[in-house]
Structure formats: C-alpha cells, structure tokens
Amino acid sequence: MKLKTVDDTREFGRRLAGVLRAGDLVLLTGPLGAGKTALVQGIGAGLGVQGPITSPTFVIARVHRGPLPLVHADAYRLGDRPDPRAEIDDLDLDASADDAVTVVEWGTGLVEQLNDEYLQVRMDRLDDDTRVIDLVPHGGDWAHRLETM
C-alpha cells in the first residue's frame, strides 16, 4: 500500500486501530523517517488515547491511557547495547500486554517473544516522500482482521 502524505499515514493508523484489541502486539520496521511515529499517532487517535504521541526514542517506552491503552516503545537505542533483549525485559512490556495494545518501533528480533501472534508493519519512504506499507500477519486471526479494514 502506498500513502502519499504524513496525514495519509496517520489516517491509515486510525483505520488500523479499528481492528486492534487488548493484548495485540504490533511491530514496526523501517528506516528513519519512514513514518513509524506518524502511524502510531494515528493508532492512538483511533484508540482514543489521551495526550500527544511523540517518539519514545529517549524514554524507550510510554503508556498512553484511554479506553484501550496504548504502550508505545522504541528499541532503536537498545540495538547498540551488549544485551538488548535484557533491556527489553527490563521494560516489563509484558506486564501490560494483556490490557493494552503494544506497538514497538525497531523491535525486530527483540520483542516477538511477547506474543506468539503479532502484526509486523514494514514501512519505507520513497524519494518523493510516499510511504510504502506492507502488513505481515504472524499467527492468530490477523489475516482475517486485516481483511475487514
């Protein structure tokens, strides 16, 4: 799927929020500037969470309260650590996993163990700033849910 603007990326996030439920894990992959945080902003808007959503790069994880809470984590700064999986474990993301939607940027190879069923969102940005998004369901009923979008 191609999204021409950042606003289109946010709107896609709002639509994606419509199929999300408590306990879901969404893993975002893609280069810097691909629109990962913009997508999470749309997801947050669709979930009705409170407060602004900004990149959690320097705080690693934020919890946004709402009817369905959103845990937004960013593992970008953990990649250069001797044991980044231990750092992820220290965040205790699984403590809120059953009650919230957990979205992790840069978490490939680090957070998949949080849930056997997860959605990977692969993102890229073309030279004309168009975002390309590919949804890759892993287990569960993800494929069926995505058909309803």
Average pLDDT across the chain, whole number = 83
Label residue 82 by pLDDT band (50, 70, 90). low
Q: In Å, what is the CA distance from 11 to each residue of 15, 44, 86, 89, 139?
A: 6, 11, 34, 32, 25
pLDDT at 72 over 50: yes
- Paired sense of beta strands 70-74 and 101-105, if any: parallel
pLDDT at 56 over 80: no
DSSP state of 123: E
Exposed e or buried b per residue across 87-113, where buried means at least 16 C-beta atoms within 10 angstroms of its C-beta: bbeebebeebbeebbbbbbbbeebbee
- Paired sense of beta strands 25-29 and 118-125, if any: parallel
DSSP state of 50: S
